[in-house]
Amino acid sequence: MNKTFELLKTLIAENDVLVSVHGYEELAEDGIYIADILNNAAAGIVIEDYPEYHKGPAILLLQKDNTGIPIHVVWGIPKDKKRPAVVVTAYRPDPKLWSHDLKRRLKK
């Protein structure tokens, strides 16, 4: 069980969420709706964990949008805080950069 993911799921369920400016830009660029991210986060799979990230603990989550298309979302919690859940960025993973299951980065 991932401690950061468990806390994020609780915060998302409580609607205690903030989307970063960068997150909004990436969402718009890839045509991802905030509702997709919020509605499908709990079913996501943690593919990378950054517990010691300098801005606070974060995870890279493999989620799906409301149509079932995979998306990657970096969620974080501000350093030395317990809330809110922050959408750092979200994007549609490039299959040239990720394994077939979109869970592992490919080496260049």
pLDDT digits (tens, 9 = 90+) for 70-92: 999 999 999 999 999 999 999 99
- Give the whole-angstrom CA distance, residue 33 versus residue 88: 14
Which whole-number Å values give the CA distances from 1 to 6, 7, 39, in the listed order? 8, 11, 20
Cα–Cα distance for residue pair 83/86, rounded to 1 Å: 8
Q: Is residue 47 part of a domain?
A: yes
| Whether pLDDT at 15 is above 90 | yes
In a domain, 100, yes or no: no
- Evaluate if residue 108 carries a pLDDT over 80: no
19: domain CATH number? 3.30.2310
Q: Which residue has the higher pLDDT, 1 or 15?
A: 15
> Is residue 48, in this structure, part of any structural domain at all?
yes
